[in-house]
Amino acid sequence: MSSCRAPIFRRRQSFSSSTEQAMELGMIGLGRMGANMAQRLVRGGHRVVGFDFSAESRARAAQNGIDPVASLAELVAALKAPRALWLMVPAGAPVDATIDNLLPLLAPGDTLIDGGNSMYKDTQRRAQRLAEHEIHYVDCGTSGGVWGLQEGYSLMIGGDEAVVARLAPIFATLAPAPDRGWGRVGPVGSGHYTKMVHNGIEYGMMQAYAEGFSILEHKQEFALDLAQIGEIWRHGSVVRSWLLDLTADALKKNPSLQGIAPWVADSGEGRWTLADAIELGVSTPVIAASLLERIRSRDKDSFSDKLLAAMRNQFGGHEMKKE
């Protein structure tokens, strides 16, 4: 008999590495992800100046060793040239708006790093615009979620090779370890492109786990303990993964998933991955199906399902359930 334990994660990074050069960074956006990243950098010996529109977020950041400021102008003024600023704001218009506000404040040689889930084509466009002002733009696909502060972040970096090399101490501290979990994957845009495909793969993996555990849950004859099975699979199985660790832990805490609505969001990367796959002529049926299942989960009053029932009744006289 086995009980489900909390997930076993990778070896935690030591923050006392003397081989890393202490740097300073401006963090724009002190939400859950940005604040945790800033805190990890501070623990690694770097100086972080943070800006967020929320006074509450700035106050929390101050408690964790981050120097908070109340405006972008104060942020830029608090950093020595050449400056490095990390954008951790929602993809799309907020990134462009932040760049618009920063541009008059920055100087040639400064670097902006976009660590959010921006569309790679937007990243290339922004880099071209900033290059006209001799400002470097680096895109960093960032994975790690709420566990990143403790375990480190997977960083997929796009940008000029020399610029990325200069910022290496920042990436090495944020990563699970200085020598792994991060790297420059190519020119500007490639970091966000790699993260886009990463998230497409994530969609497919999550869908496969969800469907498999659903089959087990429906086999009432065996009264299977899903948390126990998840725990068994975590060790030695070819389907073991960190995602399975998290799944097993979720099932341990809430075996029947009580109180969780069957509604799954998507933040865009799966759609972008699928669109690019179609453009490239690459078959991606698993990613496509997983994305469609997420969209389907939001249809509380499914017209298509009602019509399917009506069609079966029309041609075969099959019974239709009434609401």
H-only helix segments in 70-183? 72-77, 93-102, 120-131, 148-151, 161-166, 168-174
Q: Which of 39, 38, 46 is nearest to 17 (CA)?
A: 46
Residues 87/122, Cβ–Cβ less than 8 Å? no
d(CA 61, CA 41): 12
Cα radius of gyration rounded to whole Å, the chain = 23
Q: What is the largest CA-CA distance in the chain?
A: 77
- 183 forms beta bridges with 156
Q: Determine the angle formed by the axes of helices 242-253 and 190-218, rounding to 10 degrees.
A: 40
Which residue among 20, 24, 74, 202 is the active-site one? 202
- Token couple for 87: 């954008």
- Token readout for 283 is 């078959």
What is the token pair recorded at 171?
A: 């990436």
Q: Please tell me which residue in 151, 195, 252, 269 is annotated as part of the active site.
A: 195
Q: What is the spatial distance between Cα 75 and Cα 105, in angstroms, rounded to a whole number?
A: 10
Q: CA dihedral in degrees (38, 21, 69, 37; nearest 10)?
A: -10
| DSSP-assigned letters across all residues of 46-96 | -EEEEE-S-HHHHHHHHHTT-EEESSHHHHHHTSPSSPEEEE-S-SSHHHH
β 154-158/136-143 pair status: antiparallel
Q: Is there a catalytic annotation at residue 195? A: yes
User: Around Cβ 154, how many Cβ atoms within 10 Å?
Assistant: 19
CA distance 84 to 111: 5
Residue numbers annotated as active site: 195, 202
